[in-house]
Amino acid sequence: MLNIVLFGPPGAGKGTQSQKLIEKYGLIHLSTGDLLRSEIAGGTALGLEAKKLMDQGLLVPDAVVIGMIDSKLNANKEAAGFIFDGFPRTIAQAEALDALLAGHDEDISCMLSLRVTEEELTKRLLLRGKNSGRPDDQDESIIRKRIHEYESKTAAVAGYYEKQDKLREIEGIGAIDSIFAALCAEIEA
């Protein structure tokens, strides 16, 4: 299996690049943000709880997202591989992901990390808020909170994969297709 963690702050382009990667490599896209938004849309108890945190730009508890990933891995045992988008976001999630994959005799192939400046991220997220209607993209203070959550809890996850010699950094500003080409070059290397 080809198992990729697509990493970077909110607005780095993970969703856009994931769509292109799943098409090219036939992978299954596992976005915990998308899974949570579909729980919210379905009006489930989990969705209602998660929404309170998401609307404030805070992370939802590790156990919630780990449980979601666990059930998706079990439901897709024949997959060619997975793209993890927006997960893991804490060291505890990264450790849990390694343990879950080990249970399927699998592991992470690499982490591809998109590098984008905070100024560019804020600009992109506010623009996305106008087009997508995502509540957590509408307000600059919530966006800053999400970037702060990234810096305080998530950025360290790159170090976790660096220790396993799996971290690859890619410039995330530029044309979508040239960023995609750089990602593919890393995967094929």
Residue of 7, 82, 87, 160 interacting with ligand AMP (CB under 6 A): 87
Contact between 124 and ligand AMP per CB under 6 A: no
Cβ neighbours, 10 Å, residue 28: 17
Q: Which stretch binds ligand AMP (CB under 6 A): 20-28, 32-40, 99-107, 117-125?
A: 32-40
Maximum pairwise Cα distance, the chain: 43
Give the N- to C-terminal CA distance of the chain in Å, as an integer: 16
Size of the site for ligand AMP (CB under 6 A): 17
Residue of 5, 12, 27, 54 interacting with ligand AMP (CB under 6 A): 54
Contact between 65 and ligand AMP per CB under 6 A: yes
Give least dist CB 125 to ligand AMP, A: 9
Task: Give me Rg for the CA atoms of the chain.
Answer: 16
Contact between 32 and ligand AMP per CB under 6 A: yes
Closest to ligand AMP by CB, 34 vs 106, is 34
Task: Give the separation between CA 129 and CA 110, rounded to whole angstroms.
Answer: 30
Contact between 86 and ligand AMP per CB under 6 A: yes
Residue of 22, 27, 30, 60 interacting with ligand AMP (CB under 6 A): 60
Alpha carbon separation from 168 to 4, 113, 134, 145, 150 (Å, rounded) = 11, 6, 30, 26, 18
Contact between 170 and ligand AMP per CB under 6 A: no
From 41, 87, 43, select the one nearest 67 (Cα to Cα). 87
Catalytic residues: 14, 89, 128, 134, 146
Closest to ligand AMP by CB, 127 vs 165, is 127
Give least dist CB 112 to ligand AMP, A: 15
Q: Which residue number has the CB closest to ligand AMP?
A: 33
From 4, 1, 149, 13, select the one nearest 76 (Cα to Cα). 1
Q: Which helix (H) or strand (E) holds 3?
A: strand 2-7
Residue of 36, 147, 157, 170 interacting with ligand AMP (CB under 6 A): 36
Residue 88 phi, psi (nearest 5): -80, 150
